[in-house]
Amino acid sequence: MRVPQALILFLSAASPLAAEATREPFEVAALVDSFDFARIAEGEGYRFDTETSAGNIAVLDHVLQTGARTILWRNCSGATVRYQSKEESLCRVEAPLDKRRLPDNRPVHGWLRYYEVNPDILRLILGVCHDRGLRAGVHWPFEETHWASWTFGSWNLENPQYWAQTRDGRAWAGRCSLAYPEVVSHKLRLVDELLARGMDHLFIDTWRNGGWGPAFEYVQPELDRWRARHGDEPPAEAADPLWCSFVAETTHAYFNKLRKHLDSSGRAVRLMVGISDAGSDPSKPDAALLKSGTDWRRLVTEKSVDALVVMSVNWKEAEPLESTRKIYRDIIAFCAGRCQVLFPVQMYDFGKRGIPSYCRATGLSPAEIAGQLLKIAWEEGADGICMECVDYNNYGPPVRARMRSLLSNECRFKRVTATQ
Amino acid sequence: MSHRAARPSPVLTIIVPALAFAVMATDSPGAGERGEWVCPCGQPTLITSGHGNDTEPAWSPDGTRIAFQTDRNGDLDLAAVDVKAGTISILVGGRGHACYPAWTPSGDLIYSFGDHHQTAVAAAVAKSDGGYNLRMLEGEQVRALTRGYWRDYTPSVTPDGSWVYYASTRSNIENSASLWRLSLREPNEQECVLHLDSPSTGATQPSVSPDGRVMIWCQMDGFRGNWRLRAARPEDPGNSLALTGEKMSAYAPRWAPDGRTIAFTGFRSGDPAWQIYLLSPVANVTTRLDTGPGNSRNPAWSPDGKNLVFENKRSGFYKLFRVEVNPGRPTATATPAEPILKTECAARVEFSETGARWVCANGTIVPATIQGAVTFTGAGGATLTGKGHIALESPPGLDYGTECFYVRMKLVADAFGGGPRIAVVGQYPQHALGWQIFLNEAGRVCFNSRDPKGSYIGIMSDLPVQLGKPFDVAGVRDGEGGLRMYIDGVLQSSRAAGATMSYAGATAIALGRRGGGPPLTGSILAFETGRGYPPGIRPPLTMRELFPEEHR
């Protein structure tokens, strides 16, 4: 629930201390993937044993050095969960015990068994976050494989009848289709497991789609639905915006069910949706629609989500920061208070949109870019920033220092804009 | 138990041309034909019960027992059910996972065992034996067959009892598994028979046919692909063919004792769950057995070939069921769609002292477009300094569609690093980097194609190039979207699947970098691209070669 802006303005004018007490902090969210800490060498061994309580708490301590106050902990890789899930317990969630998974052969990584570790990792870390007064949530990629066969989920492998299908009839284990009610029910049972572990924020990351996309949604229920509506066959080209929009209807229905399910849980759980490659022009189909079958503008318009997390934007090489600001401004204007908006301060650079690419384009240091991006987000009226993902020292000491400095001072609270 | 052949409904006969190939003919002779195979099967009978999952059955050679793995006590143990009495005895219990039982002809049991009671970090620091290794149960004695921080699994024993074939991650780096074999006779030599090592690429469950002629296994070529059955001669597993198509997920193949039929686990779109399929490779037909509701998996034959045992989860747990089958000989066959064996060069470059020219598919000669600094050394090739490239605009004949094509070149690299160094790129309307050969950061040679969305699908050489030394690289995208690479004629271990982009007419071929990024520096000595497999590279086996009619 947001505090009415008029009240904020009144309190601000009445008393600086009272104003500070009521102003909303500028949110600093961190996506945390403990798996990525598991191979950090130290001496003859490893710095973090992420299958232990101490190891995970050490990961959290490291992440907090960035100034993060919202922790979104990864619950899975693909559909391979990282807690003691009943829903994802059959068959054995590791290779070679399930021979349909090919083993991860990297030392340590390939031998992690988060799904059977005691204590339950997710319950532990969300509890520690609560104890420390942090916002505690889950980073749940919109994927059932994380680009590798060892991440296929056990429920998925048990239920091939719900698998994705290409237009030419090829079954693919990479994902079960949300067009089947049984799949949605399965997802909601997983949500229940997350709720039972203390999740207050659920961040669905549509950029991480595991190679899935509308090309894999030629499943029978969708074919039937298309034929019923259009009286003909779906477009042959899976990237056809018409087909992608059609698929997005099913995704949208899923998000609405998710929203309803969270609301009925009796807890105030914030639903956050992450999108990538965001552009300014609402008239053009964007990556979220074409690659992840997600219509984020509709989600915002219909207030289906509480927070939009922009994970990357299509800034221009010639004017990196200026074009970034323009896109931020357009997105803020589009959202118009219908949901919170978090912008990226992103060290990951898979799409050549993160801090390393800004550095190359501007000649500025990572600390300078991180500071600039943070300030632009704050100045344009965002509710906060999101870091993807905080790994061991990828936000290096100068970056962390710069961010903490801003977050302790001018960017401590959300900016109250003139329009507010 | 009686046959149910008189009742048509439970004998669900699937009629498909079962065989798929790396290179499919565009006008496949098998495409319009249908083999028909009515395979009677009986009513499935439950043979294990109670708590826990009973899986991976294997029928003993004398037919009296069925070994299986069970999690009824928590981790995986090995047990056996007496076929007549129905009593169950634990063969290997205690801490750790004992799994994938396989009988030797003399009645000993080989299995995979792993015991991981520490965290991964603690085990690594303590240098614990963290692998899954093969063991043999001889009477009540257990003997370790393999050791090490690897996973050795899904063993099978050759009919003569001399070798164990198995999947293993030994020496693999990626998320992958290769096929190995271990001699059961002194000095127990161990060797890799099929090295596969690229992301989500691997093979499991190898087994040799009763007559020793053919080896089968299941293979995944990248996470976008499905598990598929493959077959080859045991002495040359690198030259294999696919027994099941890309649209189906198929694994866990088991030879029938007569060697004419393969049972396996499969799923095709429209199936209600995992199903038991039978495949007759000689007749080129597949049939799906009606084993009732729920997932049915991991079939194993009785020694007389009249029964299958498999696991099914209709009760909530996987339990073992037995079903009578009579595969017989299929009454009809489907003519296999054999691969296109001929090679059609679509474009190659010829060098002279003054320049280069392209010889195109239709026989036309086109002078090459030279941009920037390129030095020609006569017929020997061209030297690139990084400031120029050789191009052919709108080359005819490169409209490969979804068919098999190759890209082959001979070159010398003077440097790598700093980013991908492009040796050649085929530019298409669908994607400006439709296919490429390049050196990656680590100096490995890469070949890529695209999936229908335009996503990168690529493979790389086993080793980095040797700078200054000429090498021949050939990349093949087969007719089912699989990628293969040959360096100096040697098949590399990297595999990928899903590269099924349909190539319309190319807009250009460019040798050397065209655009930004670090340049290729070195010499291009030869280049050509075309349909089919490249000259000098052995084309894949044909079905008729591997499964001749006389073995029907």
Spell out which residues of chain A touch residue B174, defining contact as CB-CB under 8 Å.
105
Find, among B401, B360, B388, B420, the residue nearest to B510 by Cα.
B388
Q: What integer best gives the mean pLDDT of chain A?
A: 92
The set of residues, in sequence order, having a beta carbon less than 8 Å from that of B514 and lying 6+ positions away, is B371, B389, B391, B422, B425, B508
Residue A165: CB atoms within 10 A of its CB come to: 22
Give residue for tokens 């693919």. Answer: A172
**pLDDT on residue B9:** 33
Q: Which of residues 209-228 of B touch A (CB under 8 A)?
A: 220, 223-224, 226-227
Q: CB distance from B267 to chain A under 8 Å?
A: yes
Please tell me the predicted confidence (pLDDT) of residue B22: 27
Q: What is residue B498's predicted lDDT score, i.e. its pLDDT?
A: 83
Answer yes or no: do A49 and B119 touch at CB < 8 A: yes
The per-residue pLDDT for B20 is 32
Q: Which B residues, 288 through 317, put their C-beta within 8 Å of a C-beta on chain A?
A: 295, 313
Q: Is the pLDDT of residue B40 over 60?
A: yes
Chain A, chain B: beta-carbon pairs less than 8 Å apart: 144
Contact B97 A117 (CB under 8 A): no
**Tokens found for residue B137:** 């149960």
From first CA to last CA, the distance across chain B in angstroms is: 28
User: Which chain B residue lies closest to A97 (C-alpha atoms)?
Assistant: B99
A355-372: average pLDDT: 98
Give A385 to chain B, closest Cα distance, Å.
30
d(CA B225, CA A409): 52
CB of B169 within 8 Å of a chain A CB? The answer is yes
Tokens representing A56? Answer: 């995970």
Q: Across residues A19-37, what is the average pLDDT?
A: 89
pLDDT category, B118, cuts 50, 70, 90?
A: very high
Residue A173's closest chain B neighbor by CA?
B226
Tokens of A389: 């993902």
- Across the interface, of B97, B120, B175, the residue whose CB is closest to A105 is B175
- Above pLDDT 70, what percent of chain B? 91
Which of A105, A108, A172 is nearest residue B176 as measured by Cβ atoms? Answer: A105
Closest residue, chain A, to B249 (C-alpha) = A171
Residue B552's pLDDT is what? 57
Are the beta carbons of A96 and B167 separated by less than 8 Å? Answer: yes
Asked if B201 is an interface residue toward chain A (Cβ–Cβ < 8 A), one would say yes
Measured between CB atoms, does B402 come within 8 Å of chain A?
A: no
B249 touches chain A (CB under 8 A): yes
Do residues B112 and B100 make contact, with C-beta atoms less than 8 angstroms apart?
yes
Please give, rounded to a whole number of angstroms, the shortest distance from the CA of B378 to a CA of chain A: 41
Structure tokens at B347: 């474009």
Q: Which residues of B touch A213 (CB under 8 A)?
A: 453
d(CA A24, CA B427): 52
Give the nearest partner residue to B453 out of A102, A103, A215, using CB atoms.
Answer: A215
Which residues of chain B does A352 touch, with a Cβ-Cβ cutoff of 8 Å? none
Task: Give dist(CA A267, CA A254) in Å, integer.
Answer: 19
Write out chain B residues lying below 8 Å of A92, CB-based. Answer: 71, 76
Say whether pLDDT at B293 is over 90.
yes
Nearest to B46 by CA among B326, B291, B304: B291
- Res A17 pLDDT > 70: no
pLDDT, residue B26, reads 26
B5 has a pLDDT exceeding 70: no
CA distance A74 to B466: 42
Counting Cα atoms < 13 Å in the Cβ hemisphere of A51 gives 21
DSSP B195: -
Rounded to whole angstroms, the Cα distance separating B7 from B3 reads 9
Task: Classify residue A378 as exposed, middle or buried by CB count within 10 Å of its CB (0-12, 13-18, 19+).
Answer: buried
Q: Which residues contact B203 (CB under 8 A, 6 or more apart)?
A: B167, B177, B178, B179, B194, B196, B217, B218, B219, B220, B230
Q: Say yes or no to pLDDT of B441 above 60.
A: yes
**Residues in chain A within 8 Å Cβ distance of B177:** 96, 102-103
The one-letter amino acid code at B221 reads D
Residue from the list B154, B167, B226 with its beta carbon closest to the beta carbon of A171:
B226
In this complex, is the C-beta atom of B546 within 8 Å of any C-beta atom belonging to chain A? Answer: no
For residue A386, the cross-strand partners are A29, A344
Residue in chain B lying closest to A240 (CA): B453
How does the average pLDDT of chain B come out, rounded? 88
Distance from CA of A232 to the nearest CA of B (A): 21
pLDDT at A81: 94
pLDDT score at B33: 32
Structure tokens at A258: 């998710």
Record: contact A160-B271, CB cut-off 8 A: yes
CA distance A26 to chain B (A): 37
For A158, name the nearest residue in chain B, comparing CA atoms only. B295
B114–chain A nearest CA distance, Å = 10
Residue of chain A whose Cα is closest to the Cα of B250: A100
Write down the ipTM of this complex. 0.92
What pLDDT does B44 receive? Answer: 95
Burial grade of A107 (CB within 10 A; 0-12, 13-18, 19 or more): middle
Burial B11-44 (b: 16+ CB within 10 A, else e): bebbbbbbbbbbbbbeebebeebebebbbbbbbb
Asked whether residue B1 carries a pLDDT value surpassing 90, the answer given is: no
Considering only CB atoms, which chain A residues are within 8 Å of B175?
102-105, 148-150
Angle at CA of residue B32, ends B330 and B16, nearest 5°: 40
Residues of A in contact with B273 (CB under 8 A): 159-161
Question: pLDDT tens-digit profile of A87-128?
Answer: 998 767 788 999 999 999 998 999 999 999 999 999 999 999
Looking at the DSSP bridge assignments, the partners of residue B485 are B475
| pLDDT digit string, tens, across residues B371-426 | 888 888 876 788 887 778 888 888 989 999 989 999 999 999 999 988 899 999 99
Lowest mean pLDDT among A22-26, A267-271, B6-10, B464-468: B6-10
Select from A98, A102, A180 the residue whose CB has the most chain B CBs within 10 Å, as the one to mutate to test that interface: A102
CB < 8 Å to A292, chain B:
none
Whether the CB-CB separation of A121 and A33 falls below 8 Å is answered with no
- Strands (DSSP E) contained in B315-441 are 319-324, 344-351, 356-360, 365-367, 369-376, 382-393, 405-413, 421-427, 435-439
Instruction: State the smallest CA–CA distance between residue B73 and chain A in angstroms.
Output: 14
* Residues 6+ away with beta carbon under 8 Å from A407: A26, A28, A67, A374
Residue A372: pLDDT band with limits 50, 70, 90: very high
Q: Which residue of A has its CA nearest to B480?
A: A170
Please tell me if residue B248 touches chain A, with a CB cutoff of 8 Å: yes
How distant is the Cα of A189 from the closest Cα of chain B, in angstroms? 18
Reported confidence tier of residue B355, pLDDT bands at 50, 70, 90: confident
Strands B369-376 and B365-367: unpaired
CB atoms within 10 A of CB B329: 13
Residue B336's pLDDT is 64
Rounded to 10°, the helix A241-263/A181-196 angle is 40
Output the CA–CA distances (angstroms, integers) from residue A226 to A168, A250, B314, in the order listed. 16, 12, 33
Judged by average pLDDT, the poorest of A1-15, A145-159, A406-420, B96-110 is: A1-15
Structure confidence at residue B129 as a pLDDT band (50, 70, 90): confident
> Are B269 and A170 inside 8 Å of each other by CB?
yes
Q: Which residue of A has its CA nearest to B118?
A: A51
- Dist CA A386 CA B326 (whole Å): 62
Above 70 in pLDDT, residue A394?
Answer: yes
- Residue in A44, A115, A170 to test binding to B, most B beta-carbons within 10 Å: A170
Contacts of B53 in chain A (CB under 8 A): 90-91
Strand pairing of A80-81 and A76-77?
antiparallel
Please tell me the least confidently modeled range out of A85-94, A309-318, B60-69.
A85-94
The whole-number average pLDDT for the span B543-547 is: 90
* Confidence label for B19 from pLDDT (cuts 50, 70 and 90): very low
Q: Which amino acid is at B83?
A: V
CB contact under 8 A, B453 and A174: no
Mutation target for A interface from B180, B195, B223, B224: give the one with most A CBs within 10 A: B223
Comparing CA positions, the residue from A298, A323, A305, A304 lying closest to residue A313 is A323
Rounded Cα distance, A230 and A179, in Å? 18
> Would you place residue B536 in the very low, low, confident or very high pLDDT band (cuts 50, 70, 90)?
confident
